[in-house]
Amino acid sequence: MYECIESEEGPIYTYGPIIHNEDVVAELEKKGVKVWDDDSKGEKGTLIIRAHGIGKERMQLLQSIGMNVIDATCPFVKKIHKIVSEKSAEGYNIIIAGKKDHPEVIGITGWCEGPFYVVSEPEDLDNIPFEEGSKCCLVSQTTFNHNKFNKIVAKFKKTMYYGLVFNSICNATQENQEETARVSEWADVMLVIGGKHSSNTQKLNEIASERCEHTYFIQSSDELDPAWIVHADRVGITAGASTPQNIIEEVKTKCQKKVLRNCWKKM
């Protein structure tokens, strides 16, 4: 992104907020990077497709209106696009485990050449109108809850569909969820750092809240209330994939200073 700011001529846009982190988006706005408005009649320039990706027709449209499109779609998301495009062309109905209004899922549906359905819970499979014996292909949003996906897969395999399953959850996302679960069971207080609209951070908050009663979802160190950790011996910290490292370090430093002060008072 910052290389584009320095190298590209003309205005620079991002297709939607480049990541779900308000601080980063605000910083980019100060540097002149704007969020693209489909109805914008402004000057043509460089348009950066964010990691969530977009549908095939949308990509072709943006290119046809004269925008210099830089595709920064996550490789894991691109892999899903390829799977649903190929399998739907082969006659498979596509089932996507994810949040139907999430940009990544909307983008995935844009690569389906036939019927598709989005599910977020195992029970949603009961509402799919495909006929018995239909060929179905199940994929997942890259940031979907790993444990919930496994439950959906278990139910999917018991249906009367002829099915294929692709676990397309990002490896880093899965590892972060598993580590968050482990730390949450150990901690007195859990701090989940990330944008309020970030799907993968919301999943981390959900996982942590199930295991640690005192879980707090914050976007920056400014939102950290010292009262949350004043009596805590063990503070766990996790963060969404889009959270800048400097914000994580600021929260960590603020926690450490508070712990040191508490230790000094007890001595």
Residue 173 corresponds to which amino acid? T
Q: How many residues does the chain have?
A: 267
22 is catalytic: no
Q: Which residues contact 71 (CB under 8 A, 6 or more apart)?
A: 49, 59
Cβ(1)–Cβ(35) under 8 Å? no
Q: Please tell me which residue in 86, 90, 104, 113 is annotated as part of the active site.
A: 104
Report the phi/psi class of residue 210: left, alpha or beta, with left for phi > 0 and alpha for psi in -120 to 50: alpha
* Rounded Cα gap, residues 190 and 211, in angstroms: 9
Q: Please check whether residue 118 is in contact with residue 105, taking contact to mean a CB–CB distance below 8 angstroms.
A: yes
Write out the catalytic residue numbers.
104
